[in-house]
Chains A and B, each alone.
Chain A
Amino acid sequence: MSQNNGMYSRARIPYGTWGSSYFPAWQTSALAEVNIGQFAGESMNRILGLRKVPKTELDYLIIGSTVPWHWKFWNAPLVASCLGERIPGYHMEQACATGLQATLLAGAEVDSGANDVVGVLTFDRTSDSPVGVFPERRAHQRTVPLADVWDNFGFDPATGNAMITTAGIAARKYKIGRKETDEIAFRRHQQYFDSKRSGFLDRTLVPLEVLNLQGRTLGRIDDDVGVRELTLGSLSAMNELDTCVTGGTQTHASDGMACLLVATPEKARELSPQPEVDIRFVAKAEVRTHPSLMPEAPAMAVQKLLERTGLTMSDMKVVKNHNPFAVNDAIFARMLDYDWNCMNNTGSPLVWGHPQGPTLTRVVIEALEEAVDLGGGHVLVFGCAAGDVGISAILKVS
């Protein structure tokens, strides 16, 4: 079935109403000390204020996060209260696909006619994730403590393998070489720092000041702390942790939030500082690949998407993905016959980190901003998620 006529035809993403925090690496910023749900709500309000969007325009809020946070039970209504607007909404999560999936769900929400303006607010704090204690009568330990982020990353209960292992297995399957992944990582760092120096990131990222209990400054979230410029030589010299996986060719845990709006066409024009920019949903696809082959899943999701839409990679003006491993990009290039130099032009999670929930939201925001700079066109966004899942979507900027 072809989707190239678009989906969610009544939904638009209003240009320029979005924003993301910087993503400081885990344990390097004040975000390690605070309730990330509250931070996200208050930050979205601040971002909307800077974008001249009255928060009263929001009808509904879809929040996405993957690491439990204090008072998570109260869900989107609580975060909306922190934002200062008492609106309904719900929480969703799909590991690292959360940001894109939340955006798509918002499209569906608007398209259904249920709401005119839906906020997408994604966030996570991987620093000091809570430790859950799970009574397990059938386990010999009787009670199992689980540190949410690190224990999960280290053990896929369906396969027994760690995330990093999937990168090694996939690299071996596609015969990816270390040289290529080092070159990809080097290129991604160059892209990020070029973009930063050009001022591009100043349009998508918002510096935020975090206060302590007394109302004094606890810290400023004004940089992707932990990201440093690397040379090809330094990348090549790094220890290999698994096939093609080093400290430089894999992402790092970080904290942050990112948000955008999805609205009806009329509302999108009303809210956007550039109403002539039209951003539509075109199509989406998801796949689940064989056990422990997560890095190939996104490429498979893109293949499925192109088949269903009849579009080709040459139709894509901007290509951007969540790439926790450089292996992901190498496999994608191999499977889609695409030059990995041409994607992730403004940076990618491989460089700026991996706060899970908001990762793909920031990818979407940067991709759309880049597409507008380029005069519009199709935007391909994709990424992997825990459980060997791949997700992809095409948006169209005109």
Chain B
Amino acid sequence: MTKVMRETTLQTLGLGNVIDIFERGQMPAAAADLVDEVFGKQKKRGSMVISGANGIVGAGKTMQLGSRLQPYDVRVVALDFPGAPDGIGKQYPGLVQAFGPEGAAAIMQNIVRLSYDGTRLPSELQQLKPRFLLEAIPEILEIKRAHYELFRGSFPDIEIRSVTSGFPSSELGVGVAHPAFPHEINKIWEIVEPEPSAITQLLWALGLIPVPVSDNWSFVLDVLFCGVTLAGLRYHDASNMPFWKIDKFVRKLMGPNPFRAHDAIGAKGANFLTWSCLHHLAEMYGDVFKPTAALTERKDTGQTWYPPNHFRPLVNWSLDESADEDFRAWILGPMFQMTSLMLHEKRGHLTHLNAIGELCAQFRSGILAVVRDLGPDTVAKTVRAYHRLQPEAAQSAWYPGAFNNMDSPEWQQLYVNAEHNGEVGVVTLSRESYNGDVDQELNRALDWLKAERIERVILTGDFHLSTQMVGADTSEFFPALEAAEAGSRIASDWSRTARRFADDFEVSVGFVNGKRCLGGMLELMLHCHYLMAVDGAQFGMPEVTLPVVPGMEGCHWPFRKARAEDWPKLLQLLLGGRPVRAGDAVGWLIDYAGPLEEALQTAWKVATGADHGLKARSVESGALDGVPREIAGLPPADSPESEAARKAIVQCIDAACHVSLADALATQAKHSAEFMLSAECRGGMVGTEYTKTMAV
């Protein structure tokens, strides 16, 4: 019987636990079956209709779903008014970039563009047998309701979902599938429906990320995004600080730059949507959501928040200590209050609430991770400070008790979960990049498994929120650019966590299901006794391009596991920065690559100790001799910073490989930390991002 540390996010989609996937050796749902269920079998296959298809949301989703449904012969009907500006045509260059000219042409050929006048559906629609309507028309409740009636009148069995950002399903009378910007590529959909439907499971099977949320006015993303925008607006009113500068301070504090985001999305539409969400939320919950006059004005004018190019900001603003304290109260206070409301209303799985901010609203850490880090007392103090600044917000929608149970696994394991069946444990990562929170949660998950006497473990993604493993979260390195101790601590702590997979378990299997596993995530996975992947996954060490020196033992651990004749390949990987495909990495970097189901079944065999035919590669604990310092044919570095990083990486390899395994961790950490203090690191991507984000 399966035991879980906390509910898996897959379970919220009705798709079971992750360990079930390995036990069964197959995914819990297949796209082809779900396409049959939603659109009918091949001969009777119906179509998908997207209304408002030329709008920002409609056009983006026409592309995203069109490209995914085209292989299944599901026609996509793009419906809009005859005079609507062509939003779909604008998407074509992006489509070519992603799928090539032939792929793009095939996708576009599968899209049927029809016009209607808003009152009568085009007669051609009958032949296309619409089975699923995704409504993306303007945010006016009466118009939406009339639109659904129009469709139901002609197609009584049609499934309807609205992309609305504000209206609850109970008001609309249809389910909600609320997507996140940018609509062409963002995979998150907030779903409101009584039970996980075939449509929702189909979205998952197509590689998208449906996230069930409760049926309340506005959804989680809107509360967070509109909320942080409103917090910025209120600070603007209180301080006169221009929006562009508030963006910089908000980005430094939390990650998003809400005003730039509005302008980037399109101020006219975005301003209205934000106002509309806040307006309805204020009616429902009180003044904490009340739009300010500046937003109300801009909902009609569509005026941008940033000045035009010829008036790029000229006079800088700064915050002294006291002003900074006020700023934190103005921004974090309402965000925490709004979060308390969402928790009180049980709007979703905590991992989802947390992830939505990160995946859709640029939060550096999800709002719950921020809250958890500060603790309930500091959070309540911050909200009280905010209420002193804006007393009317204290009148409603504040639930400090929502933060009382932070010790529960649901709060403690926002990014990492663990499951086991009494014999094998599965540790799942819900975050694509590794950071301090992931590190701590990973340790707690491993502690839990050890306490449960589990000695065989699989480390993998969560098959839901994390569709790839991109490496370390480079914003974690910011303190390391200032102090060697910070860099050394990060590298040492994270490496010690990674070593637990080598030392604490009888068998550990790293399983890569997504598109790629890079940098710090690869270093973590390499510590497992076996590293396995699906065909097509890519592995790489892009640190040299950032540039940084790998910190989680990437400069010696893989050499200790590989044969001497394969060392040049590892050196190429580290110094070239280019990824390799799973199939090409078997034997010297990973241990297995194969088709999905075969890979799942093999991983389970390895984990359970069944006959699997793979040989574990041992880790050499002594010093290594003959590790090369250069390789032939390495193309020149593309920048002086990368050139410096190559030299530093070679020095790190040299030093870490020429000491014992016991000493190598500290050696690697020292080299990694020292390079982060260099001018070359400061001049590269990490340093530039640090300057842009923190030096405001």
Q: Tell me the residues in window 188-243 of chain B with beta carbons closer than 8 Å to chain A beta carbons.
A: 237-242
A160 at the interface (CB under 8 A from B): no
Per-residue interface assignment for chain A, residues 78 to 91, with 1 indicating a CB less than 8 Å from any chain B CB and 0 otherwise: 00011010000000
Q: Which of B107-115, B313-321, B609-617, B678-686 contacts its partner?
A: B313-321
How far does the Cβ of A271 sit from chain B's closest Cβ, in whole Å?
A: 13
Q: Tell whether A46 pairs with B293 under 8 Å between CB atoms, given A38-B311, A56-B237, A84-B242.
A: no
Contact of A213 with B312 in the complex, beta carbons under 8 Å? yes
How far does the Cβ of A317 sit from chain B's closest Cβ, in whole Å?
A: 33
A270 at the interface (CB under 8 A from B): no
How far does the Cβ of B267 sit from chain A's closest Cβ, in whole Å?
A: 15
Chain B minimum-CB-distance residue to A220: B316
Query: Which of B237, B238, B313 lies in contact with A42, CB distance below 8 A?
Result: B313
How far does the Cβ of A281 sit from chain B's closest Cβ, in whole Å?
A: 27
Q: Tell me the residues in window 56-85 of chain A with beta carbons closer than 8 Å to chain B beta carbons.
A: 56, 81-82, 84
Contact of B240 with A84 in the complex, beta carbons under 8 Å? yes
A8 at the interface (CB under 8 A from B): no
How far does the Cβ of B296 sit from chain A's closest Cβ, in whole Å?
A: 13
Q: Is the interface of B mostly helix, strand, loop or mixed?
A: loop
Q: What residues of chain B lie closer than 8 Å to A45, measured between beta carbons?
A: 240, 242, 315
Contact of B315 with A46 in the complex, beta carbons under 8 Å? yes
A54 at the interface (CB under 8 A from B): yes
Q: What residues of chain A lie closer than 8 Å to B315, measured between beta carbons?
A: 39, 42-43, 45-46, 208-211
Complex Cα gap A215–B315 (Å): 9
Q: Which of A42, A210, A217 has the most CB of B within 10 A?
A: A42
Complex Cα gap A208–B241 (Å): 14
Q: What residues of chain A lie closer than 8 Å to B293, measured between beta carbons?
A: 56
Complex Cα gap A42–B312 (Å): 11
How far does the Cβ of A208 sit from chain B's closest Cβ, in whole Å?
A: 6
How far does the Cβ of B554 sit from chain A's closest Cβ, in whole Å?
A: 35
Query: Which of B237, B239, B240, B316 lies in contact with A211, CB distance below 8 A?
Result: B316
Contact of A46 with B317 in the complex, beta carbons under 8 Å? yes
Complex Cα gap A215–B317 (Å): 11
Q: Which of B237, B241, B293, B315 has the most CB of A within 10 A?
A: B315
Complex Cα gap A56–B297 (Å): 13
Contact of A215 with B242 in the complex, beta carbons under 8 Å? no
How far does the Cβ of B58 sit from chain A's closest Cβ, in whole Å?
A: 33
Chain A minimum-CB-distance residue to B239: A49
Q: What residues of chain A lie closer than 8 Å to B314, measured between beta carbons?
A: 34-35, 38-39, 42, 210-211
Q: Tell me the residues in window 279-305 of chain B with beta carbons closer than 8 Å to chain A beta carbons.
A: 293
A55 at the interface (CB under 8 A from B): yes
Q: What residues of chain A lie closer than 8 Å to B241, measured between beta carbons?
A: 49
A121 at the interface (CB under 8 A from B): no
Q: Tell whether A49 pairs with B240 under 8 Å between CB atoms, given A38-B311, A82-B311.
A: yes
How far does the Cβ of B67 sit from chain A's closest Cβ, in whole Å?
A: 37
A360 at the interface (CB under 8 A from B): no
A393 at the interface (CB under 8 A from B): no
A48 at the interface (CB under 8 A from B): yes
How far does the Cβ of A85 sit from chain B's closest Cβ, in whole Å?
A: 9
Per-residue interface assignment for chain B, residues 313 to 344, with 1 indicating a CB less than 8 Å from any chain A CB and 0 otherwise: 11111100000000000000000000000000
Query: Which of A39, A54, A209 lies in contact with B237, CB distance below 8 A?
Result: A54
Report the number of A-B residue pairs with Cβ-Cβ less than 8 Å. 51
Query: Which of A35, A55, A81, A82 lies in contact with B240, CB distance below 8 A?
Result: A55
Q: What residues of chain B lie closer than 8 Å to A35, measured between beta carbons?
A: 314
How far does the Cβ of B299 sit from chain A's closest Cβ, in whole Å?
A: 15
Complex Cα gap A35–B239 (Å): 24
How far does the Cβ of A81 sit from chain B's closest Cβ, in whole Å?
A: 8
Complex Cα gap A213–B317 (Å): 15
Per-residue interface assignment for chain A, residues 12 to 34, with 1 indicating a CB less than 8 Å from any chain B CB and 0 otherwise: 00000000000000000000001
How far does the Cβ of B695 sit from chain A's closest Cβ, in whole Å?
A: 10
How far does the Cβ of A68 sit from chain B's closest Cβ, in whole Å?
A: 17
Chain B minimum-CB-distance residue to A257: B315
Contact of A215 with B313 in the complex, beta carbons under 8 Å? yes
Q: What residues of chain B lie closer than 8 Å to A208, measured between beta carbons?
A: 315-316
Q: What residues of chain A lie closer than 8 Å to B242, measured between beta carbons?
A: 42, 45, 84
Chain A minimum-CB-distance residue to B243: A84
Complex Cα gap A38–B307 (Å): 11
Q: Tell whether A209 pairs with B316 under 8 Å between CB atoms, given A38-B311, A56-B293, A82-B311.
A: yes
Q: What residues of chain B lie closer than 8 Å to A82, measured between beta carbons?
A: 307, 311
Query: Which of A43, A54, A81 lies in contact with B238, CB distance below 8 A?
Result: A54
Q: What residues of chain B lie closer than 8 Å to A56, measured between beta carbons?
A: 237, 293
Q: What residues of chain B lie closer than 8 Å to A38, measured between beta carbons?
A: 311, 314
How far does the Cβ of B460 sit from chain A's closest Cβ, in whole Å?
A: 42
Q: What residues of chain B lie closer than 8 Å to A49, measured between beta carbons?
A: 239-241, 317
Q: What residues of chain B lie closer than 8 Å to A215, measured between beta carbons?
A: 312-313
Q: What residues of chain A lie closer than 8 Å to B311, measured between beta carbons?
A: 38, 81-82
Per-residue interface assignment for chain B, residues 398 to 414, with 1 indicating a CB less than 8 Å from any chain A CB and 0 otherwise: 00000000000000000
How far does the Cβ of B260 sit from chain A's closest Cβ, in whole Å?
A: 12
Q: What residues of chain B lie closer than 8 Å to A217, measured between beta carbons?
A: 316
Q: What residues of chain A lie closer than 8 Å to B316, measured between beta carbons?
A: 208-211, 217
How far does the Cβ of B21 sit from chain A's closest Cβ, in whole Å?
A: 48
Complex Cα gap A285–B98 (Å): 74
Q: Which of A39, A43, A46 has the most CB of B within 10 A?
A: A46
Contact of A211 with B313 in the complex, beta carbons under 8 Å? yes
Complex Cα gap A39–B238 (Å): 21
Complex Cα gap A42–B240 (Å): 10
Contact of B240 with A54 in the complex, beta carbons under 8 Å? yes
How far does the Cβ of A16 sit from chain B's closest Cβ, in whole Å?
A: 16
How far does the Cβ of B108 sit from chain A's closest Cβ, in whole Å?
A: 39
Complex Cα gap A46–B238 (Å): 12
Chain A minimum-CB-distance residue to B248: A215
Complex Cα gap A167–B315 (Å): 37
Chain A minimum-CB-distance residue to B309: A213
Q: What residues of chain B lie closer than 8 Å to A46, measured between beta carbons?
A: 240, 315, 317
How far does the Cβ of B47 sit from chain A's closest Cβ, in whole Å?
A: 48
Q: Tell me the residues in window 635-663 of chain B with beta carbons closer than 8 Å to chain A beta carbons.
A: none
Chain A minimum-CB-distance residue to B318: A209
How far does the Cβ of A322 sit from chain B's closest Cβ, in whole Å?
A: 26
Q: Which of B237, B313, B314 has the most CB of A within 10 A?
A: B314
Complex Cα gap A55–B242 (Å): 11
Complex Cα gap A22–B484 (Å): 41
Complex Cα gap A211–B315 (Å): 6
Q: What residues of chain B lie closer than 8 Å to A53, measured between beta carbons?
A: 240
Complex Cα gap A46–B241 (Å): 7
How far does the Cβ of A135 sit from chain B's closest Cβ, in whole Å?
A: 28
How far does the Cβ of A154 sit from chain B's closest Cβ, in whole Å?
A: 31
Complex Cα gap A124–B165 (Å): 48
Complex Cα gap A84–B307 (Å): 9
Cβ contacts A to B, 7 pairs, < 8 Å: A38-B314, A46-B315, A46-B317, A49-B241, A49-B317, A54-B240, A210-B316
Closest 8 CB pairs of A and B: A49-B240, A42-B315, A209-B316, A55-B240, A45-B240, A49-B239, A38-B314, A43-B315
Given contacts A43-B315, A209-B315, 12 further A-B contacts (CB under 8 A): A34-B314, A38-B311, A39-B314, A49-B317, A84-B240, A209-B316, A211-B313, A211-B314, A211-B315, A211-B316, A213-B312, A215-B312
